[in-house]
Each structure stands twice: as C-alpha cells, then as structure tokens.
Structure 1
Amino acid sequence: MVQTLAAAGELQRDLQRELTYDGLRAAEAKGNKGGRRPALAGETVTDVRAAYLGGQSIAALARDHHVSRGAIRTAVADLLPEHVTAGDPVPAPELAVREPRHRSRRVTRTPRNLPAGYLFPGV
C-alpha cells in the first residue's frame, strides 16, 4: 500500500517537473526572460553609467535614483575595477603555525568481563 502511494507521488512529481520545463521552454521561445525585473532599465541605465564615469559615487547614484547600491553596481558592473586581474600572481596566504597542545593521556582500561586475550590477542 505504501509503495503504491510512493509510486503515485513520484509519478506526480515527474509530471509536474515536465510541465514546468515545457512552460519555461515555451516562454523562452516567445522571447520572455525569466527572473526579477531589473530596478534600473532603459534610459536610466545609460544615465547612471554616464554619471558613474563622470565620477559620481555609487551611493550618491543610489540616493538620486531611489534604488539600492546593488542595483547601481549591477548597472555599472562592467565598468567596476577588478580586484585581481588574471595576469597578477596572487601570493598564497601565510598560515599561522601553532604549537601542539599537550593533552593529558588517558589510560584505557579493558572491560573486566572480557577474557584476558580478547582485546589484545598477543598478550
């Protein structure tokens, strides 16, 4: 009984996944793009990019256009300086060396109800 219900649930999941993918493919064929719409679009992006190249800060642009700084960064992403270029070698970080901690040694005892050579057969 449980196996039958599990098989029916799996069939339902597969059907739903297939229908979802069909819908996404149909929307893509129509030219629709999935995802959230950008906060800045069209002419505003051109204005923001020109202002950024003119020396205005990202925070000031965000205040002026009433959007987040992330939205401004997205609009000017290709104009932002890269942190590390591919040609620059990056040195490996030095790791701190620690002295090992001394732990007290625990004495392991054999259980009293086991035969003498059970844990250590050669003894």
Structure 2
Amino acid sequence: MVQTLAAAGELQRDLQRELTYDGPRAAEAKGSKGGRRPAVAADKTDAVRTAYLEGRSIAALARDHDVSRGAIRTAVADLLSEHTTDGQEDAPAPELPVTLDMPGKVADFLRATELEPAERAALDQGVTVRRGQGYSLRVGTTPAVHRQLLARCQPLDGIQGAPAIPAQRKARREYENRVTALTGNTP
C-alpha cells in the first residue's frame, strides 16, 4: 500500500512538472521573451542610444529619463566597449589595482630609496600589518607599479657589490613570488 501511495505521489509530481514547463514553452512559442521588462522603454531606447553616442554621460541620461545608471548601461550595453575605446579595438584593458603584502624589510629598503611618484604614493598609502616580530606592508596598486617596486629592490640580492643580508634576500624573494603569481610571468 505504501508503494502504491509513493507511485501516485511521483505521478502527481511528474504531471505538475510538465504543466509548469508547458506554460513558458507556450509563451516562448508565441514570441514572449519572459523576464522583467526593461526600465528604459523600447520607444525611448533609440533616443538614449543616440544621446550616448553624442557624448552624454550615463549619469546625465539616467537623471533625464528618471531611471538608474544600470538601466542606461543595459540600454547601451552593445555600444559601451566600442564607444569607450574610441575605435581602438587593440587597446589593452586598464590594469586594476591589486593588494599584495610586501615584507617589512623590503618596505624599509624602498622607503630609503629614490622612487617615482606613483611608487612613492603606493608605499605611503600602504597599511602596516603586524606579523610576529616583524611587519608586512599591505600595498594596493596596479601590477605594473608592483613590478617597478620589485625591480627597485634588486640590490637586496647583493648584486651591486654590496653584501647581501640573508633576511633581506629572503624577504625580497617572498615579494617576488607574490608579484610573479599575480602577473603570471617573471618581472
């Protein structure tokens, strides 16, 4: 008897599943897309797209049409990549800032070294994180600046006639490993 009730329950579940899927299939066959309607109405989309191509900002268009900036981005989504690169399809994507922990010995060496303004700003904006007896400097900047900072601390390996201090060499290698893992190649 339990098996009969279980079989009847399975049959009922299968019928409900089929009826549930029949509704969207029928709507799709009629041409209905389903989902939420776009916030920018179809009759206003052409005006929004034209204004965007003429140079109006997304924020200004959102204010004018009383919708969110995301709604405007959706309306002009296919134009965004073309318009922002100004026709340069081979233009590289901008590097996004990443945060790496720089050993304190490397940070101390770099603070005493002459640096470019971008490198100096990255070090000055770093956050000190205590680690046991030493510390790390949590630096958030682009991978290119991390590579430049790594290149500046080459003397810690004892290359330029100065004796290498093992702890500094180890700290530099640790930072080098982090930068290499970030960029995927050797600096």
Measure the CA separation in 1 of the matches of 2:37 and 2:92.
38
1:65 aligns with 65
2:25 aligns with 25
1:96 aligns with 178
Measure the CA separation in 1 of the matches of 2:75 and 2:90.
26
C-alpha deviation, 1:24, in angstroms:
1.3
Q: What TM-score, normalized to structure 1?
A: 0.60
Measure the CA separation in 2 of the matches of 1:15 and 1:8.
11
Measure the CA separation in 1 of the matches of 2:28 and 2:10.
27
1:80 aligns to what SS in structure 2? helix
Q: What TM-score, normalized to structure 2?
A: 0.41
Higher strand share: 2
CA RMSD of aligned residues (A): 3.4
Residue 4 to residue 43, structure 1, CA distance change in 2 (3 Å):
same
C-alpha deviation, 1:43, in angstroms:
2.3
C-alpha deviation, 1:96, in angstroms:
1.4
- Following superposition of structure 1 onto structure 2, how do residues 76-95 of structure 1 map, counting pairs within 5 Å? 76-81=76-81
C-alpha deviation, 1:27, in angstroms:
1.2
1:96 aligns to what SS in structure 2? helix
Residue 6 to residue 33, structure 1, CA distance change in 2 (3 Å):
same
Q: Which runs of 5+ in 1 are unaligned?
A: 98-123
1:43 aligns to what SS in structure 2? helix
Residue 5 to residue 89, structure 1, CA distance change in 2 (3 Å):
farther
Measure the CA separation in 2 of the matches of 1:3 and 1:96.
61
1:113 aligns with none
C-alpha deviation, 1:74, in angstroms:
0.6
Measure the CA separation in 1 of the matches of 2:177 and 2:91.
21
Residue 43 to residue 15, structure 1, CA distance change in 2 (3 Å):
same
Q: Which has the larger radius of gyration?
A: 1
Q: Which runs of 5+ in 2 are unaligned?
A: 94-142, 144-175, 180-187
2:35 aligns with 35
1:53 aligns with 53
2:38 aligns to what SS in structure 1? coil
Query: What letter matches 1:96 in structure 2?
Result: R
Residue 2 to residue 80, structure 1, CA distance change in 2 (3 Å):
farther
